[in-house]
Amino acid sequence: MVKSASPTSAATAAGPAARAETAAASRSLPPPASYEAALTELEKLVGAMEGSQLPLDELLGAYQRGADLLDFCRTRLDAVEQQVKRLEDGRLQAWSDKA
């Protein structure tokens, strides 16, 4: 009698390839159009991940996309901070809402 592979072992065997494909897909997504778009997408990803709504391979891809979005947001914030420093003659001034 020939024993067939269980669905679990078949999925495990395809696991690394599926994870690599998911990772590549998350890296091939276009960069967000803006900081706000990145933040919105990141919030949706976090909600889906926290709600356990994603299969494991999709969870990995979502995590990687989230890391890319977080990097994009940090880069934009750093760029804005540098622009503010230039506007303030190289000194980052304390924020005051009083004009």
pLDDT band of residue 27 (cuts 50, 70, 90) is low
Q: Which region holds residue 2: left if phi is over 0, alpha if psi is between -120 and 50, else beta?
A: beta
Residue 70 CA to its chain's centroid (Å)? 6
Tell me the C-alpha distance between 14 and 11, whole Å.
5
pLDDT one-digit tens code per residue, 41-69: 999 999 988 988 789 889 999 999 999 99
Q: Is the dihedral of CA 61, 64, 68, 74 positive or negative?
A: positive
pTM above 0.75, yes or no: no
Average pLDDT, the chain: 75
Q: Please report, in angstroms and rounded to a whole number, the separation of the first and last CA atoms in the chain.
A: 84
Identify residue 12 by its one-letter amino acid code: T
Domain parsing of the chain, residue ranges: 34-90
Just give the CATH number of 34-90: 1.10.287.1040
Q: Is the pLDDT of residue 3 over 50?
A: no
Predicted confidence at residue 26, as pLDDT, reads 54
Q: Is the pLDDT of residue 98 over 60?
A: no
